[in-house]
Amino acid sequence: MLDKLFNRPRKLANKPDSVDIEPVEENPRVPISVRSLSRHFGDFKALENISFDLAKGESLGIVGLNGAGKSTLLQIIAGTLKPSSGEVLTSGRLVAMLELGTGFNPEYTGLENIYLNASILGIPRKTIKEKLPEIEAFAEIGDFIHKPVKTYSSGMSVRLAFSMLTQVNPDIMIIDEALSVGDAYFSHKCMNLIRKFRENGKTFLVVSHSPSAIKSLCDRAILLEKGVMTKMGSPNDVLDYYNAIIANKEEEFLKVEQAESKGRTTTRSGNGKARIQSFDLMDSMSQPRRVFEIGEYLKIYCSIKANIELECPTLGFLIKDKLGNDVFGTNTHHLKFDSGTIRTGELLNLVFETQLYIGAGEYSVTLAAHEGDRHVIENYDWYDGVVIFRVIPDSSSYFTGIARLPAQVNFAPDDVKLRRHYSYGLRIDPQSEQPMSRYLVEGWSVIEVDRTWTDGEKATIMLDIEPSKTDRTLRLDVTPYVDSSKPNQAIHISLFGKTLFSVKIEKRSILEIPIPKNRLENQQLLHVVINTPDAIVSKPISDPRHLGIALHFFEII
Amino acid sequence: MTKAGILEIFRQHELILELTKRQLTLSHKGSVLGVVWILLSPLTTLAIYLLVFGFIFGGKFMPDESKFDYGLGIFLGLAIVHFLSEIFGTAPQVMFAHSNYLKRSTIPIQIIPVVTLLCAIFHLLVSTIFVILGHIISKGSLSPNTLWIFPLGMCLFSIGLGLSWLLASLGTLFRDISQFAGPLSLGTLFCSAVFYPIDQIPESIWNILKFNPILHVVNELRSTVLWNEPIDLGALQYLIAVSGTTLILGWFVFSFTKSKLIEIV
């Protein structure tokens, strides 16, 4: 009876109760060798006949849907679980980060938690004491390290947990779904750290739902489906196959949700004059897809059915990121597309096409059919988050942020001369040969035909002037912004950081500011700062600008 | 595997100490008095028992004993019983309490009941130091027989560790075990001669109670440390036998069920 209740511990090459593992004689160079491994929980087959070898310095990604057995596999390799049959041979020191921050207790400070977590990972206390600055620098949480973890943001505790990575020095490292947490900057930092580990010939085993992590970190990937290893190969091949599974899965899911959504009005709203009948995402070859590389073509197919006759209905889509921020949206109205007249019962089928110059991540698509340019006017059907798709990095260079802007870099031919050169006596106005815009550094509105307004309380002119042996005068032709509530504008003009001139004006005037010659001995950049503390937003003309004065021309004579 | 498993405990001493520290501070974390409670709670219990058994029932170990000495006697017995109660109370649930470590890390799980033991030892040590200080205040010196505290302590700790492993394993496999913690502690308290000298026990009951190893630990510690009497070698031999058996039994049950435990929690 007891034998039935307890599986007698099988003789395993990896000792689950030990972190240091002696090399396996029969296969000394293979850090991990999994041989026809199976694991059953009662009748449930969590893993079925899994076999693979991992060479030194190789890194393997494990992908699969939730419940496919990924974590069970890692637990068996790490030695916390025993297989039902088959064996796992490992050689070398193994560290498993099965869950980041195991043993983090919110009542204790970050530092106290580091010490405990370190001893769980087998890092001696002494090492931690010595390397504390390094850990702190990696975690980048500042003085919070001395505060209880309960005061941390979730991002901070992830940072702290990951900082332990800098101190482990295993031959084999197992990481379970940890790389997708934290902000982009930090996960990039972690990726770099892991790459460095790999360059040092460490063996890696990674479970991740993030295709980009697998693609960029792994040499090989395996796909688990319901406990069976259905695919092994290059990360690209395996992920393509995996993505196909996800797409199928999501379609099934959608059907269900559509059926359910009849009673729900939160995600779908509209007056019913038209209904979105069907939709799909496709690639440039018009094949349905849910995963796209950055820069790939995305086609959004959408079909609406008119329930009454509609005159040029608008159909649009909106892409939102994981946090619900609008990334990009447009519609037939903005695209100046004439959708024509649709009679009752007729379908309108459209395909939008765009190119996904957006960052890697998960996005949702919202579809809408309405009248006019926005759905608030008359909303036929608004379907929020109808479909999820994923953007993954392509082979080109890494970037940060949410959008990929075209970027390039070249060596500058020389120290670039910013062309603000000014010769004495030259009158600069909006019509002058020397463009006025090159001298207007900050605090200015758009240049109009004969003037340019200051926007805000401070506007700066910058001039690259030649040395002068005589005193000079700066002349400014300005018009104050005045209305009934503000009869005049105060103007302070400073040069070399010192206010040289203050005046209050009611109407257009020419200001003359003397510049002593001793200030003009060298070729230099002259900063003319115009302060207009009374600048106001004019209410009657609903102009958001903070108007102070308008500048018509300036010159130094 | 068994041998390596035992050795692993020594290899993981740093982790064990960290976990013990964590466990010890955990219950006081955030409380106003903090670590003071480690002393305050046994002293409060002592005050209650001293009031009831010393003053109301007029209990005495020796005919010409002061209430202070009687208090010390009770306190020593209580400390030992608390040591066991702590293990009874904690060990059956300790694997669940540390499920995170079991599932998410590769630490050898046999160290977790060791942590339970160390926490109990810590509390026992604090109380023992208190008793010895009290005894010095009362009598002015320590008797040479006090040295018997070490073999007796080793026996008690072995029993504690054996029980800790046993209960951690059984308490995880059969969740009902933890329900016995209360009655078991109470039984130990009253059947271990904490409040009365053993010669007051009627013959018929003694025939049963004499098998209780804790009774012997309490009695021998009290007579050697507090009353400067030589140790009863028969009792010591019995304790060594019992503690060795408990330790080995506990270890085997635990390592036998180990892989099952990881799955259950």
Among A26-40, A245-259, B172-186, name the most confident range. B172-186
At residue A265 the predicted structure's pLDDT band, cuts being 50, 70 and 90, is very low
**Is residue A261 within 8 Å of A267, Cβ to Cβ?**
yes
- The reported pLDDT for the residue numbered A4 is 41
Chain A interface mutation, best of B2, B105, B259, highest count of A Cβ atoms under 10 Å: B105
Residue A20 has pLDDT above 70, yes or no: no
A487 against A538, higher pLDDT = A487
Residue A98 with chain B: CB contacts under 8 Å? 103-105
Residue B101 with chain A: CB contacts under 8 Å? 102-103, 120
- The reported pLDDT for the residue numbered B80 is 94
**Is residue B22 within 8 Å of A114, Cβ to Cβ?**
no
Residue A9 with chain B: CB contacts under 8 Å? 1, 255-256, 258-259
Tokens 């039902």, residue located? A84
pLDDT, tens digit, for every residue of A211-238?
767 877 788 999 888 888 888 888 877 8
pLDDT, tens digit, for every residue of A468-520?
888 888 999 999 888 877 888 888 988 887 888 888 888 888 988 888 888 88
Q: How far is CA A74 from CA A80, A206, A316, in A?
A: 9, 9, 45
CB contact under 8 A, A7 and B104: no
Nearest one of B72, B81, B84 to B46, comparing CA atoms: B72
Tokens of residue A179, six digits: 């790389």
> How far is the C-alpha of B230 from the C-alpha of A445, rounded, in Å?
101
> How far is the C-alpha of A220 from the C-alpha of A216, rounded, in Å?
11
Residues in chain B predicted with pLDDT less than 50, given as ranges, are 1-3
- The reported pLDDT for the residue numbered A250 is 45
Candidates B4, B5, B103; nearest CB to A80: B103
Could you give the count of Cα atoms lying within 13 Å of A139 in the half-sphere of its Cβ?
30
At residue A417 the predicted structure's pLDDT band, cuts being 50, 70 and 90, is low
Q: Which residues pair with A501 in a beta bridge?
A: A493
CB contact under 8 A, B30 and A120: no
Q: pTM to 2 decimals? A: 0.58
- The reported pLDDT for the residue numbered A252 is 40
CB contact under 8 A, A18 and B8: yes
Nearest one of A95, A330, A43 to A203, comparing CA atoms: A95
Residue A23 has pLDDT above 90, yes or no: no
Residue A382 has pLDDT above 70, yes or no: yes
- Residue of chain A nearest B20, judged by CA positions: A116
Please state the φ and ψ torsions of residue A440, each to the nearest 5 degrees. -90, 105
Any chain A CB within 8 A of the CB of B4?
yes
The C-alpha of A19 sits at a distance from chain B's nearest C-alpha, in angstroms, of 7
> How far is the C-alpha of A399 from the C-alpha of A393, rounded, in Å?
9
Residue A27 has pLDDT above 60, yes or no: no
Residue A125 has pLDDT above 80, yes or no: yes
At residue A28 the predicted structure's pLDDT band, cuts being 50, 70 and 90, is low
Chain A interface mutation, best of B13, B104, B169, highest count of A Cβ atoms under 10 Å: B104
- Residue of chain B nearest A176, judged by CA positions: B104
Residues in B 68-97 with any Cβ partner in A closer than 8 A = none
- The radius of gyration computed from the CA coordinates of chain A, to the nearest angstrom, equals 33
**Is residue B262 within 8 Å of B102, Cβ to Cβ?**
yes
- The reported pLDDT for the residue numbered A542 is 62
- The reported pLDDT for the residue numbered B117 is 95
- The reported pLDDT for the residue numbered A256 is 32
Residue A21 has pLDDT above 70, yes or no: no
CB contact under 8 A, A5 and B15: no
CB contact under 8 A, A78 and B106: yes
pLDDT, tens digit, for every residue of B1-13?
334 577 778 888 8
pLDDT mean across residues, chain A? 79
- The reported pLDDT for the residue numbered A178 is 59
> How far is the C-alpha of B56 from the C-alpha of B102, rounded, in Å?
49
3-state DSSP helix/strand/coil % of chain A, to nearest 5: 20, 40, 40
Any chain A CB within 8 A of the CB of B103?
yes
CB contact under 8 A, A17 and B4: yes
Query: Any idea what DSSP says for residue B231?
Result: P
Among A20-29, A117-126, A197-206, B120-129, name the most confident range. B120-129
- The reported pLDDT for the residue numbered B48 is 87
| Residue positions counted in chain A | 557
Tokens 């046994």, residue located? B42
Please, what is the Cα angle at B204 between B203 and B207, to 5 degrees?
85
Q: Which residues pair with A291 in a beta bridge?
A: A390
Tokens of residue A515, six digits: 């510049």
pLDDT, tens digit, for every residue of A139-190?
888 888 888 888 887 777 777 877 877 777 778 888 876 555 556 666 667 7
Any chain A CB within 8 A of the CB of B174?
no
Nearest one of B169, B189, B59 to B116, comparing CA atoms: B169
Candidates B18, B19, B104; nearest CB to A98: B104
